[in-house]
Amino acid sequence: MTGTPTRCGFCGRQTITRKGRCPACGQAKAPPRDTPLEPPPPPSLWRDVRGQVASVGAAVLLIATALLIGSQVLLYLGILALCAMGVLYAVAHSD
């Protein structure tokens, strides 16, 4: 049985994986993939996005709670929080 040649992450050659290893350099290969060394997205960006999503989620939750219990003060607070986040986002991404 012959497999499909995949790029080895260690020697960079296109080789057919044998018993999970690269026959050219002998290193264990990851399961066949076209691009084994794809870099993950920058972690700081992801932290940013996740933090923002969490903040917006909290504000939306606040507004939803305000609407549920009919509290105008909470509603204003939630809208203010959303506006503040929008301003902060605009400032952070202005240049």
Binding site for Zn ion (CB under 5 A): 8, 10-11, 22, 24-25
12 backbone dihedrals φ, ψ, rounded to 5°: 80, 0
Q: Looking at beta carbons only, is 13 or 50 nearer to Zn ion? A: 13
Minimum CB separation of residue 40 from Zn ion in Å reads: 22
Closest listed residue to residue 52, CA positions, set 6, 92, 8: 92
Calculate the alpha carbon distances from 91 to 46, 49, 84, 88 in Å.
19, 15, 10, 5
Minimum CB separation of residue 29 from Zn ion in Å reads: 7
Minimum CB separation of residue 84 from Zn ion in Å reads: 53
Q: Looking at beta carbons only, is 5 or 86 nearer to Zn ion? A: 5
Question: Taking the chain, what is the end-to-end CA distance rounded to the nearest angstrom?
Answer: 56
CA 39 to chain centre: 12
Minimum CB separation of residue 1 from Zn ion in Å reads: 20
Q: Looking at beta carbons only, is 30 or 61 nearer to Zn ion? A: 30
